[in-house]
Structure 1
Amino acid sequence: MDVSSQKRLAAKILKVGISRVRVKNTKEVAEAITRSDIKRLIEKGYIYVVQKKGTTRIHANIIRKQKKKGRRRGAGSKKGSISSKWTEKVRPLRRMLKELKEENKIDKKNYRKLYLMVKGGFFRNKGHLLYYLKEQGILKGKRMK
């Protein structure tokens, strides 16, 4: 029995695609002609809609659990070149040093020394740089953020 026209009508009524419409009793559905007939069959349950297939999150969840354990951190998982990572780390440190020099919180001699230390990768981040400045007593006055 061809129920393609009934499926098309049902799809319009249910506001879904034709491929999502399913039919249980084809004989009764084939007899339906009008929209009201189709609506009656939908109420009876002879015509119904299949749920959309979504994207599974199971693989993403597994990976997240592994990362939480510290896995997936090998050389093959690293994104970006070593030089690009170095650049990302160095730029804010140099910007901070420049600000400190312009605010006269550090002198030229210390600025040059610290600049070279930043270049050499001595400081992990801006917090580490500030900690070093306070420990060594290089910072003049208070640093306001």
Structure 2
Amino acid sequence: MSDVASQKRIAASILKCGVNRVWFDPERLSDIQNAISREDLRGLITDGAIKAHQKKGVSRGRARVRTAQRAYGHRKGAGKRKGAQGARTPSKRSWIQKIRAIRKVLVTLRDEGTIDRHLYRVLYRKAAGGQFRSVAHMKAQMEIIAGRLK
């Protein structure tokens, strides 16, 4: 290849890229050699004799596949965990999820008329006190509490 180092440097500054990304058309090398001004090189860029290679990037394809697998429940075993259980999902966050679910069910049961306002209030306070492990546990305990109140 002939001496076109200065043309390559000037073309890189015009294209606003690195010297290694500048591409010269091998069939137009004589034109590029004769181009000594920035204006000449701009003309060759518009002609397509000089181009900038696209930046190389890191593909996210494998990362997307991995994320999809994790959403499915894979790649989440003991060997992949670093923090303690309380660090990965704090106890406060799990409490919030649990209490919101219980309260939502209590409101629907009250609005349907399955439980009266008094029983709703009793169950609500017991839920706030952490008496129920889950919605299923609360429903199982509901009959027992309802029987005691009557």
1:70 and 1:17 map into 2 onto residues whose CA distance is 44
Moved over 6 A (4+): none
Summarize deviations over 1:60-92 as a string: whole Å, max 9, x none: 111123223321121112231245458x21588
Q: Supply the AA of the counterpart residue of 1:89.
A: S
More helix by percentage: 2
Percent of pairs with identical residues: 35
Q: Supply the AA of the counterpart residue of 2:21.
A: R
Q: How does 1:51-62 map to 2 (within 5 A)?
A: 51-62=54-65
Summarize deviations over 1:93-144 as a string: whole Å, max 9, x none: 4xxxxxxxxxxx859xx95xx4xx7xxxx74xxxx48x8499476xxxxxxx
Cα gap change, 1:83 to 1:16, in 2 (>3 Å) = closer
Cα gap change, 1:31 to 1:50, in 2 (>3 Å) = same
TM-score computed with the length of structure 2 as normaliser? 0.58
Cα gap change, 1:85 to 1:70, in 2 (>3 Å) = closer
Aligned residues: 116
Give the CA RMSD over aligned residues.
3.6
Question: Partner residue of 1:37?
Answer: 40
2:88 and 2:49 map into 1 onto residues whose CA distance is 61
Are 2:93 and 1:79 equivalent residues in the alignment?
no
1:26 aligned counterpart, secondary structure: helix
2:138 and 2:32 map into 1 onto residues whose CA distance is 80
Question: Partner residue of 1:9?
Answer: 10
2:74 aligned counterpart, secondary structure: coil
Q: How does 1:1-145 map to 2 (within 5 A)?
A: 1-24=2-25, 25-82=28-85, 84=87, 88-89=90-91, 93=95, 114=130, 123=133, 128=134, 132=138, 135=142
1:16 and 1:84 map into 2 onto residues whose CA distance is 45
2:51 aligned counterpart, secondary structure: strand
* 1:35 to partner: Cα distance: 1.0
1:50 and 1:85 map into 2 onto residues whose CA distance is 43
Cα gap change, 1:78 to 1:27, in 2 (>3 Å) = same
TM-score computed with the length of structure 1 as normaliser? 0.59
* 1:18 to partner: Cα distance: 1.6
Summarize deviations over 1:2-58 as a string: whole Å, max 9, x none: 111111111121222222111113222111101111011112211111111122111
1:30 and 1:83 map into 2 onto residues whose CA distance is 67
